[in-house]
Each structure stands twice: as structure tokens, then as C-alpha cells.
Chain A
Amino acid sequence: MDLKIESKEVEGVGVIVLEGEVDVYTAPKLKSRLIDIVDEGKYNIIIDLQKVEFMDSSGLGVLVGGLKRVKSHQGSILLVCTQENILKIFRITGLVKVFPIFSSEEEAIKSIQGS
């Protein structure tokens, strides 16, 4: 299973939608896309993990790296995820305290617009 990455802009916010598996093989593709989006000047980014079937620490590492990148521009990364098997790794690693996690893109966008 590969990783499909779709990026779009919704109400001025960069949104990345992932589908598939994020591991040591596919994580570099995500890293590259995140860097491109930041280079385009988008510093508030939503990453939709609803269609991610598997993620390990390689994927988490890319998200943490992306967060460091946007924070240097006073930006943020918000996640959309309701899948228990993915949420679990954020809990285990303590990253639930680092990334705001929402149950839909709409909620995440509202949060950015309200901040």
C-alpha cells in the first residue's frame, strides 16, 4: 500500500489529505510535500489522517519536523483524525499534547480562523 497525498487550499488554509500507509518508505514523500507547502508561504496547515490505514514513528517524525518548520513562522499544524489505531500512537508518544486533533476538516478550519 502506497501513500496518496492530495493538497488543496480551503479558505486560505493549506490542507493535506493522506490516504494509505505512512512508514519509513512513504514518509519522505510527505516530508517533501510539507516542505513545498511551507515554501509556498502557507504556515497554518491541516493534515487529514482520516484515510490513513497505518502510521509509525517515521510518519510522526515528519509531522514533528513540519511543526518545527511552521512554528518558526508562527504557524501551526492541526490534524484531523478519529481513527483509534492512529490516535493511539499520538497518545503513546505524548504527541496529543503537541498537535491539536479535530474530528473534521471544518472544525480544524474554524479553529484556525478563530485563533
Chain B
Amino acid sequence: MAHFDQPTLITIPAKPEYVSVVRLVVAAFADLLDYNGDAVEDIKLAVSEACTNAILQLHKQAPPEKHVLTMSAYTQEERMLIDIIYFVGEEADAELASRQLQERDLGMSILVSMMDKVEIARANSDGVVIRLTKNIPAQHLE
């Protein structure tokens, strides 16, 4: 399998109209890894949910025009990792991001079903990272 450990990055304004752009980029990246069509759809859906969560959290905290979010997609061993990173402009509260995701029941159900692992953590002092992990199918690891 080709290695893509150098991250592919895209930064967008944290606004709803840009989420479709991130979906396009992550789908293209997943294609490089030979995921099948269903898996690519799952990854797009999970990324959409994570970006939506980030945008909703940012819109609660401050005027949305000031914020951006970054998606970083890369491989690590036999996994594809996707980080959704955003900065809240004050002391980051990863728990708030996590709580909001729990409150969005439908979004959370979809996210955990589509990915092999979902983690939410602080990034630096004022950032949050939602990390999505998808295992690469065994037949592509040769």
C-alpha cells in the first residue's frame, strides 16, 4: 500500500456552506487508499458530522465569521486518520465538544457507526481536535 503519512490539509471558514468542500477532499483522499465505494461514503458522512459539530460549537461561542476549521487526513500504520481541528479563541473545552456531540444523538450514532474510533481532545491551549480513525482493509496493506 502506498503511504500517505504526510497530511493532506484543507482549512475552511467555519460556515455550513463549506462542509461539502471538506467532504469532497476527504473522499478524494480515501480513494487514494482504495477504500470501496461504501467505505468512502461512510468516511464522508463521518467527516460531515464532525465538521457540523465543530461549526455548531463555534457558532455558540463567538461570531462565526472569525473562525476556521482544518481537516487533516493521513495514514498511520494500517489506519487512516482524519483530524478536524478548530480553535475556540479561549480556553479550549474538549469536554464541551464531546458533550455537544453526545447531545446530538443522531450525529453521534452515525459518527461512531461509520468509524472504527472517535476521539475528542484539546489541541494546544485553545483548540479542539476531533480525531476519526478508519482501519484500512487488510487486502490493501500489502
Contacts and interface: CB of A to CB of B under 8 A. Distances in A.
A and B are partners in one complex rather than unrelated chains: yes
Interface of A: 1, 21, 23-25, 54, 56-58, 60-61, 64, 84-85, 89, 92-94
B106 A93 contact: yes
Contacts of A21: 20
B45 A56 contact: yes
Nearest to B56: A24
A25 B20 contact: yes
B16 A25 contact: yes
B41 A85 contact: yes
Given A25-B17, A92-B110, A54 B44 contact: yes
Nearest to B23: A54
Interface string B23-44: 1000000000000001001001
A39 B140 CA distance: 53
A8 to B, nearest CB: 27
B19 interface: yes
Contacts of A56: 45, 48-49, 52, 107, 110
Contacts of A24: 16, 19, 48, 51-52, 55-56
A89 B48 CA distance: 13
Interface string B91-117: 000000000000010110110010000
Contact of B107 (A25, A57, A64): A57
Interface in B45-64: 45, 48-49, 51-52, 55-56
Given A57-B104, A85-B38, A23 B109 contact: no
B45 A89 contact: yes
Given A21-B20, A23-B20, A58 B52 contact: yes
